[in-house]
Chains A and B, each alone.
Chain A
Amino acid sequence: MSGPRVALFPTCLTDTAFPETGKAMVRLLERLGCDVDFPLDQTCCGQMHFNTGYAELARPMARAYADVFDGYDYVVAPSGSCAGMVREIHPTLCPTSPAVERTYELSEFLVDVLGVVDVGAHFPHRVTYHPTCHSLRMLGVGDKPLSLLRAVSGLELVPLPQAEQCCGFGGTFALKNAETSTAMLADKMRCVQDTGAQVVTAGDNSCLMQIGGGLSRLQAGVRPVHLAEILASTQEEPWVATP
């Protein structure tokens, strides 16, 4: 069987700091019949630059993205934020290739393109889901991630109160307005802890880095796990916590 030719765009953050998410993407997409590739010339989509006011510096990165991913059937990212940057912002920065329009956030790709909701995953933990702002409002993924999670065997999904409130990450906002970012994070952590979940998941490692970084500082005993890692986990090859 030859499935669609899918290029992974794990994003620079995941590539560098959260490789387990990238590996999970490979496992998951291959299990679902995709022909997965990772074009090594990719670096960064330019979001940090663009959002901080350096659109001019982001422009060459947008151009490079269009070149690197040209020719694949689809590009899939474990990030609503970076997929949003590519699909919504890149066309405003430079002429783009079809790869830009065919860039998807993971849950969109699974539900809309592959047409699957039950990906055959097994994850026996109590989980709460934080809908990240850009996946929710820029891409409009709606409840796709939740439908995917509901189909995971063994997973107990607990609703997150005030789920749609921003976690306070916001890229360089977290540094430039660190105190306000922390105040937003404090409320998010309270909501996460109120659920009694062992795991908080989301479609963006950037937001999980914020929420997880706060929870870890408080020794809260709640672990951030990217959606891709949950969906990749099976009875035979279960998710294992990295230290």
Chain B
Amino acid sequence: MGRNPVTWLGSPTFPDAARRSLGDTQLRGNLRKATTTIRGKRESAVAELDDWEQLRRAGEAVKDDVLANLDTYLERLEAAVSERGGVVHWARDAEEANRIVLDLVRQEDADEVVKVKSMATAEIGLNEALADGGVDAIETDLAEVIVQLGEDRPSHILVPAIHRNRAEIKEIFAQMPDPPDSDDPRALAEAARKYLRRKFLSAKVAISGANFGVADTGSIVVVESEGNGRMCLTLPETLITVMGVEKVLPRWQDLEVFLQLLPRSSTAERMNPYTSIWSGVTPGDGPQKFHLVLLDNGRTSTLADEVGRQALRCIRCSACLNVCPVYERTGGQAYGSVYPGPIGAILAPQLAGDLHDEQAASLPYASSLCGACYEVCPVRINIPEVLTHLRAEVVEAKGKRTPEAMAMSAAAWVFGSRRRYEAAQKAGSLTRLLARGGNLSSLPWPGSKWTDTRDAPVVPKESFRTWWRRNRG
């Protein structure tokens, strides 16, 4: 089994990557504008529904049922898809999924495939695996086109090119056969449209992800905004869908809940422009060969963690990214994974499954635990709870000999007795001797991490308890 590509090989730890991103003025400006706008819009879209809280609870309940009975629903889905003429494949990890897809593409003698925007295929590094096998995977979602042609990495789940501006996009599009003549959004979209039309019409094979897979009917659902997905899902002869196993829903009627939760949370729309649903193969209509690859890649091991498993409820709306004060400043690439932001901080390390890895271990700490993510999550994932839970696992993986663990043990020892605590207060108040003009502006490491940018409070000679004892004791 190879390394799980859900986190990018060679990525620096979050604090190091963030330091770089924070200095990128283009990124900061784009993110500030985009997240502020979408935050406001989401709030209005959600406020329109009186039963939003009930919808969230319903979404949570359906997903929890799915996670508790995953085996049953997946077998039901497999049976329903097979009955309707589809072929179901099971992939344990990224390597297996990539091999299955590559073999299927080769069977069709195709050296180019068109792709619907998909987190699952990005997670497993499918495009790179196909390229190694001599197959060009062409992204067709506008933002994914920008990322792909720019040989870049995504920085947002829904808007992967959120870090780019118009001028940069024009530069990137210059390699198209009909490049745009200006950086006017209409000219850029027109250039992309011409480039993509040729691809849609010539492709024999399309590859998609799935937002939902309905077990009862064997129906796969993809929601999108641009119509590129609809082209991929209807024009080619062969369709291959890679779906994370947790995307299964028990019943058709469950879609009622999620088709309300998802668009309002992600794009702040009442309904997304395109919802494509297909069940197996329909003779004479759409792809005549349909393959469904059910992907595990760390999901069942995540499922084994009672606290961490709620991350698998995620429907990839990105509402948590848009409200996150950390994401807003660092952008998505700092997280070193296709899953950035608060959800990425709990999902990527769990899927990667190795908290000994410095980069993965830094992700659960990429949060001030402000809780804004939990507040907006349409399936009520308690992200702060999972973050602290994963931090405890990181601490356990690192062992008791780190300077931090030793300092924490010492602090706990001090707090363990009133006498020690009071002695420490007296010692702490000696730092007032370092103060100048009422400010404490420079402390030795690790206090310097604070005083590099902020003054520290001058600990007074008399603590509250000393005052209490003097006056009330």
Spell out A's residues near B (CB within 8 Å).
Answer: 10, 12, 14-19, 21-23, 26, 38, 40-41, 43-44, 46, 48-58, 60-61, 64, 133-134, 136-138, 164-166, 168-185, 209-210, 212-214, 216-217, 242-243
Contacts and interface: CB of A to CB of B under 8 A. Distances in A.
A40 B418 contact: yes
Interface in B372-421: 372, 374-375, 388, 391-395, 404-405, 408-409, 411-412, 414-418, 421
A12 B415 contact: yes
Contacts of B368: 133, 166, 168-171, 173, 181, 184
Contacts of A216: 439, 454-455
Given A168-B325, A173-B367, A184-B326, A178 B462 contact: no
Contacts of A56: 392
A46 B414 CA distance: 12
The interface centre, meaning the residue of B372, B412, B425, B460 with most chain A CB atoms within 10 A of its CB, is B412
A38 B446 contact: no
A60 B366 contact: no
B287 to A, nearest CB: 45
B462 A19 contact: yes
Count class of interface residues, chain B: 35 or more
Question: Dominant SS at the A interface?
Answer: helix
A116 to B, nearest CB: 23
Nearest to B412: A57
Contacts of B467: 19, 22-23
A25 B235 CA distance: 71
Given A14-B464, A175-B449, A217-B455, A40 B369 contact: no
A148 to B, nearest CB: 22
The interface centre, meaning the residue of A19, A173, A182 with most chain B CB atoms within 10 A of its CB, is A19
B463 A16 contact: yes
A23 B450 contact: no
Contacts of B143: none
Contacts of A10: 464
Contacts of B454: 182, 185, 210, 213-214, 216-217
A52 B391 contact: yes
B173 interface: no
28 contacts: A14-B464, A15-B425, A15-B464, A15-B465, A16-B425, A16-B429, A22-B464, A40-B465, A40-B469, A41-B418, A43-B415, A44-B421, A48-B411, A49-B412, A53-B394, A61-B415, A133-B371, A133-B372, A137-B371, A166-B370, A175-B450, A176-B15, A177-B365, A181-B368, A185-B453, A213-B455, A214-B454, A217-B439
